[in-house]
Chains A and B, each alone.
Chain A
Amino acid sequence: DAGITQSPRHKVTETGTPVTLRCHQTENHRYMYWYRQDPGHGLRLIHYSYGVKDTDKGEVSDGYSVSRSKTEDFLLTLESATSSQTSVYFCAISEGVTTTGTETQYFGPGTRLLVL
Chain B
Amino acid sequence: QQPVQSPQAVILREGEDAVINCSSSKALYSVHWYRQKHGEAPVFLMILLKGGEQKGHDKISASFNEKKQQSSLYLTASQLSYSGTYFCGTESVGNQFYFGTGTSLTVIP
Contact = CB atoms under 8 A, between A and B. Distances in A.
Interface of A: 35, 40-45, 59, 90, 97, 100-102, 104-110
Contacts, number: 52
Q: Name the prevailing secondary structure of the B interface residues.
A: strand
B32 A102 contact: yes
Contacts of A35: 99
A45 B2 CA distance: 11
B62 interface: no
A42 B91 contact: no
B98 A104 contact: no
B47 interface: yes
9 A-B pairs with least C-beta separation: A107-B41, A43-B99, A42-B101, A101-B30, A42-B102, A104-B44, A101-B29, A42-B99, A101-B91
Contacts of A59: 1-2, 98
Contact of A104 (B29, B41, B47, B87): B47
Contacts of B101: 40-42
Interface string B92-109: 000101111110000000
